Amino acid sequence: MNSERKLATILATDCVNFSKHMEDSEELTLTNLNDCRKIIDEVIAEFGGKIFSTAGDSVVAEFASPVQCVKAAIKFQDKLYERNEHSLTKLQLSWRVGIHVDDVIVENNNIMGSGVNVAARLESQSEPGKILVSKIVKDQVDKRIDYSIEADGTRKLKNISDEFEVFKVKGLKIDDDDFFSEEVNKENNEDENNKKDDKGSEALNPNNLICRGLKVIKTKFPDIGVMCDVALDPYTSHGHDGLIKSNQIINDETIEVLINQSLLQAEMGCDVLAPSDMMDGRIGKIRKALDKSNYQDVQILSYAAKYASSFYGPFRDAVGSKGSLKGDKKTYQMDFKNSDEALREVALDIKEGADMVMVKPGMPYLDIIKSVKEKFKIPVFAYQVSGEYSMIKAASEKGWVNEQDIIFETLLSIKRAGASSILTYFAKDIAKSLK
């Protein structure tokens, strides 16, 4: 028996949810797996690693240097992320990585020992697309790579008696996707629903979710344009866009709150304010307040033609307003049977200072989009709302429609009707497909 004992850096990586992907689409999964393995294997070889064992969807490799090992993991995780970003298929495979340094036994073409076991355990606890390393790896690699390695607490690893201190590599391309959620929520993790009251007070909190998000975005990407809704329904316990007195929406008092909400969002860096509340006269008063406060360059996109629609259901579920909504919004949102009202509302908002107008929902109101565009020659936005999105998703999951084809068809129909711009939950999918 030809065996050798030595100190080595062990990398373990595994494809996330491989069995489930195989069950759903065997041929497509295998094609994607082969593409991913080519990337992983080539990078491991580039940094001097040797693959000892593989099950196709998992790899164990040995490196002489922990620095080279971590660099290899970073490179192939970034390359795998780029591959997913540019992929035109719905299936996108993610890989987890665990790395540990320990004494191992090399026997023929096999590698064994606690070092292999620990690396495998770290890999199983890593997040998809991420890299988890032991303290000994962190100590060896820290300040020798252009990436930070941060503590990620202690873990109970299978068959390891002591609590194990682990660290994650930060700065990977996939980290850009969770940058905002981490930064926005780190200051306050309290349930947003617990902050609602009958006055929508949280809308004026400079540390609310929107304000924190604005600060993060403008710090990281100062040149990006940001648009924010102005309305109270995410913040009111009764679920309405305006304040309530004697079971009625009080228009003018609501506008005073909306003005302060607008000024706060402008202060935090918002470039386009989008009042979606449908209170009468709010565009003119918000415009006046912005100009007086030296926010002349902040534009207003008015939800001028916002219908009382059944298509808003999934969104209301998401923000928690559906269950709390008392009555309906038909007294201030428009009757879906009425088209002339839309033109009157648009004309009033333009006169008050709106730079752009919104038609909401999108596809069920193509006639409104067309009429507004033709009559006013102003930028017209259309909102493909949550109900439109959910129906497409549900039909796609049932196999009734081709998701990518129907996304493009619906959006192009809205564009064809005259929309200058479209708000859609499919924006990220569209961006990926156009790369």
Mark which of 144, 173, 202 sits at the end of a domain.
173
Q: Is 404 helix (H, G, I), strand (E, B) or coil?
A: helix
- 66 and 183 share one domain: no
**pLDDT at residue number 187:** 46
Structure letter (DSSP) for residue 236: B
Distances (CA, A) of 51 to 132, 188, 219, 417: 19, 44, 42, 57
Percent of the chain with pLDDT over 90: 46
Residues 168-225: pLDDT tens digits? 999 888 876 665 555 455 444 445 556 788 888 898 888 888 888 888 787 777 788 9
**pLDDT at residue number 189:** 45
CATH number for the domain spanning 102: value is 3.30.70.1230
Q: Is there a catalytic annotation at residue 135?
A: no
- 344 and 221 share one domain: yes
Q: What is the average pLDDT value for the chain, to the nearest integer? A: 86
Residue 233 has pLDDT above 90, yes or no: no
Mark which of 112, 138, 173 sits at the end of a domain.
173
- 150 and 233 share one domain: no
**pLDDT at residue number 89:** 60
- 52 and 106 share one domain: yes
Alpha helices, H only, 18-91: 18-24, 26-46, 66-86
Angle of helix 251-267 relative to helix 209-220, nearest 10 degrees?
A: 30
Which has the closest alpha carbon to 41: 52, 29, 30?
Answer: 52
Distances (CA, A) of 35 to 28, 65, 116, 387: 11, 26, 25, 36
- Stretch 136-162: mean pLDDT: 83
Residue 318 has pLDDT above 80, yes or no: no
- 119 and 233 share one domain: no
- 328 and 353 share one domain: yes
| Report for 155-169, 314-328, 384-398: range of highest mean pLDDT | 384-398
Q: How many domains in the chain?
A: 2
- 188 and 160 share one domain: no
Given the residues 130, 138, 196, 360, select the one marked as catalytic.
360
Q: Is there a catalytic annotation at residue 199?
A: no
CATH number for the domain spanning 382: value is 3.20.20.70
Q: Tokens at residue 335, please?
A: 């009757």
| Report for 99-108, 177-186, 410-419: range of highest mean pLDDT | 410-419
- Bridge partners of 167? 133, 151
Residue 125 has pLDDT above 80, yes or no: yes
- 408 and 428 share one domain: yes
**pLDDT at residue number 351:** 95
Report residue 326's pLDDT band, with 50, 70 and 90 as the boundaries: low
**pLDDT at residue number 143:** 84
Please say whether the beta carbons of 386 and 318 come within 8 A.
Answer: yes
> Which one has a higher pLDDT value, 8 or 176?
8
- Secondary structure element (H or E) that encloses residue 120, with its range: helix 114-125
- 396 and 257 share one domain: yes
**pLDDT at residue number 261:** 93
Q: How far apart are CA 291 and CA 130, in angstroms?
A: 47
Residues 259-283: pLDDT tens digits? 999 999 999 889 999 998 888 899 9
Mark which of 155, 173, 191 sits at the end of a domain.
173
What is the residue range of 260's domain? 178-434
Q: What residues contact residue 174 under an 8 Å CB cut-off, 6+ apart?
A: 77, 81, 129, 130
- 31 and 111 share one domain: yes
**pLDDT at residue number 87:** 64
Residue 95 has pLDDT above 90, yes or no: yes
Q: How far apart are CA 301 and CA 353, in angstroms?
A: 10
- 40 and 69 share one domain: yes
**pLDDT at residue number 324:** 58
Report residue 136's pLDDT band, with 50, 70 and 90 as the boundaries: very high
Given the residues 71, 306, 329, 373, select the one marked as catalytic.
306
- 155 and 183 share one domain: no
DSSP 352-401: HT-SEEEEESSGGGHHHHHHHHHHH-S-EEEEE-HHHHHHHHHHHHTTSS
